[in-house]
Structure 1
Amino acid sequence: MELRQLRYFVAVAEHGGFGRAAESLGIVQSAVSTQVRRLERQLGLVLFVRGARQTVLTAQGEALLPQARTVLEAAERTRTLAAELAGGSAGLLRLGPVRGPGERTNQLLHRLADDTGAFRVALRHVPAAERLRLLSDGQLDAAFVRGEAVAPPGVSLLEAWQDPLYAAVPTGHPLAARPTLTLGELAELPLRLVERPANPPFHDLVTGLLDSAAGRRAPLGPRFTTLPETLAAIASAPAPSWTVFYEVTGLPDFPGITVRPLACPALTTWLAVPEGPPSPALRRLLAAMPSTRV
């Protein structure tokens, strides 16, 4: 059974004859008659009583007509949705965001939002290394990663944005009096840094910059847990230490802690995408990020 046959069947039923149905469809009458007879043979039904002046539906034809219309309407909806998917006005974007998600990501989601609900964004919150793996496996359409990211085979990294880095030191330490801090000045203080498995790109970026500034491997302090817990530990510990972070929801205001900007390269956030021509959903994401560049 073909959609064409159902369409011809409905046209004959609505126009009351094969000739008028053929005229409405813009084809010859014999084509309509042939396809309707084929439909009848395939279904094992007699759909019309064919008269000299009028063609009318049989009881079987009357019963089949609503279902035929439903099938044709569903086919038309499918064609419309396929066109919208191909054009990017509808669809699903599977996106791996950075933690936070941060104001930039929120603004991006607003720009991607569709009042009709035809285009949706599904966020997958997983560690950076897992984001890149899921992207390589085709389970994500795009993913954000921060810091010294290494693209796996088949993945390209596009620069999305940059964030300044900040240092948090004890308020009583002499470095707290400086308006801006350098990594060279901080190199003698133990650093409370997120462990590498939790965020390899950020860990590698900071340790690489710090070791380069110190000319040797800089000392690491106690383990970083969460930012509030780490700031509390820095403020109360008898031995001075520090931590480094990027702004997510505003700079912290914590008793006994002074936050200063770091005079070092900013932290880059990358948009990881599959190599090759972008999908319609990915084209829509890229259009919402005009500053994104290779």
Structure 2
Amino acid sequence: MELRQLEYLVTVAEERNFTRAAEKLHVAQPGVSAQIRRLERELGQQLLDRSGRSVRPTEVGAAVLPYARAALAAVRGVRLAVDELTGLLRGHVSVGTVTSHNVDLPGLLADFHDEHPAVEITLSEATSDRLLDDLRTGRLDAAIVSVGSGDPEGLGVLVLEDQPIVAAVGHDHELAVHRVVAIDTLRGRPLISLPRGTGLRARLDEACAAAGFTPRIAFEASDPGLLAQLAARGLGAAILPGAFAAARAEQLHVITVDRPALRGRLVLAWRAGGPSGPAGRALVRRARRTLGGGAGLDGDAGPDGNADPDGPPVP
């Protein structure tokens, strides 16, 4: 049994296709097939089901995959440990982010690359729910996500922004006579919101559920700017980060939502035990030193960052 056979098996299982796996591995497809068949002959069991349109692990293959991944991770760990002790940082860091904010993430990644040019960096964009799942499973080393008042379970966070979530309406809207409303005032009214999975939407759903109703979402989009435009045209009340809405006072009348108060935080998050590799740990250390204010909650916004560089160190 060879490590490359295990690598080929894991890659084909993840890609569900021999050709895509070969492209990812930068080897010829027949070579991938041949090595996996050798592994299957050695084990005396078929590991992949090739009968459908996509390749899937057999029952035996599914049982083998965790051990194959662990073996590959152990080898990577050996290499990273040697590099760390000799002062050479290599490896890969995976970073995630919500769609819209004012954090200087490009600057952070560029500075980190300048300091550690041998580290490969990848960046992906998704909803907060997806990013939190990917952090917990180790697919990501760090991510910028939107959360509520409590820290996500199993994760460490650096608060980048803590601000109210407001209802914003056009100046001719019937709610524009109010500066503050209770959450129950939104019951049955057409609301304009980010999609499910975003932190802002989660805070809205939680508050409405506590008040005993489900919000009526008339319009849903992932761009806060579009939400603001829809509200300005009188199509409903947009649920937006406070600073984002306040910056558009010419278009929108901003209403504080109370009883309960709606608030959200934008944070940099990582696994509580720290990223598994030295490159990931180095990135989080740099981020904690350099990231400050100027971020919004699922949108662009204000200058009043809430960074906590004096929190517990990342292992």
Given that 2:199 and 2:264 are in contact with CA atoms closer than 8 Å, whether structure 1 keeps it comes out as no
Q: How does 1:209-288 map to 2 (within 5 A)?
A: 209-212=207-210, 215-217=211-213, 219-225=215-221, 226-237=223-234, 241-246=236-241, 253=248, 256-260=251-255, 264-276=261-273, 278=275, 279-287=277-285, 288=287
Cα distance, 1:167–1:81 mapped onto 2, change above 3 Å? same
Match of 1:117 in 2: 117
In the alignment, which residue of structure 2 is the partner of 1:163? 162
CA deviation vs aligned residue, 1:138-191 (integer Å, no higher than 9, x gap): 332223331259968xx4242433332233212123543555665455456432
Cα deviation, residue 93, structure 1: 1.8
The alpha-carbon deviation at position 94 of structure 1 amounts to 0.9
Question: Any gaps of 5 or more consecutive residues in structure 1?
Answer: 1-78
**Secondary structure in structure 2 of the residue aligned to 1:124:** strand
Number of equivalenced pairs = 208
Matched, 1:102 2:102: yes
Say whether the 8 Å CA contact 1:85–1:280 is kept in structure 2.
Answer: no
* Structure 2 CA distance for partners of 1:170 and 1:133, relative to 1, 3 Å: same
Q: Find the aligned partners of 2:80 and 2:227 in 1 and give their Cα distance.
A: 54
Q: CA deviation at 1:267?
A: 0.9
Give the 3-state SS of the residue equivalent to 1:244 in structure 2.
Answer: strand
Unaligned runs of 5+ in 2: 1-78, 290-307
1:169-223 Cα offsets, whole Å, 9 max, x none, are: 1212354355566545545643222332xx25432211222444xx331541412
1:103 aligns to what SS in structure 2? Answer: coil
Q: CA deviation at 1:96?
A: 1.1
What is the one-letter code of the residue matched to 1:243?
A
Taking only aligned residues, the RMSD between alpha carbons, in angstroms, comes to 4.1
CA gap of 1:221–1:136, structure 2 versus 1, over 3 A, is closer
Structure 1 position 98, deviation (Å) = 1.9
Describe the superposition over 1:4-55 as per-residue Cα deviations: whole angstroms up to 9, x where unpaired: xxxxxxxxxxxxxxxxxxxxxxxxxxxxxxxxxxxxxxxxxxxxxxxxxxxx
Residue 139 of structure 1: aligned partner: 139
1:72 maps to none
Whole-Å Cα distance in 1 between the matches of residues 138 and 208 of structure 2? 36
Q: Could you tell me whether the CA contact under 8 Å between 2:89 and 2:118 is conserved in 1?
A: yes
The structure-2 alpha-carbon separation of the partners of 1:136 and 1:81, relative to structure 1 and needing over 3 Å to count, comes to closer
Q: 1:285 to 1:81 in 2, by over 3 A?
A: same
Counterpart Cα distance in 2 of 1:231 and 1:249: 9
Contact 2:181 2:255 in 1 (8 A): yes
**In the superposition, relative to structure 1, how do residues 170 and 289 fare at CA in structure 2: closer, same or farther (>3 Å)?**
same
1:10-49 equivalences in 2 (<5 Å): none
In 2, distance between residues paired with 1:268 and 1:218?
Answer: 23
Structure 1, residues 210-259: CA drift from partner, whole Å, max 9, x if none? Answer: 444xx33154141212434433433334xx62011237988663875334
AA in 2 matched with 1:266: R
- TM-score, normalised to structure 1's length? 0.53
Q: What percentage of residue pairs aligned between the two structures are identical?
A: 21
Give the letter aligned to residue 134 of structure 2: L
Aligned-partner Cα distance in 2 for 1:211–1:89: 48
Trace 1:142-153 onto structure 2 (pairs within 5 A). 142-148=142-148
Equivalent residue, structure 2, for 1:83: 83
State how far apart, in whole Å, the 2-side matches of 1:281 and 1:245 are.
35
Give matches, 1:190-205, under 5 Å: 190-196=190-196, 199-205=197-203
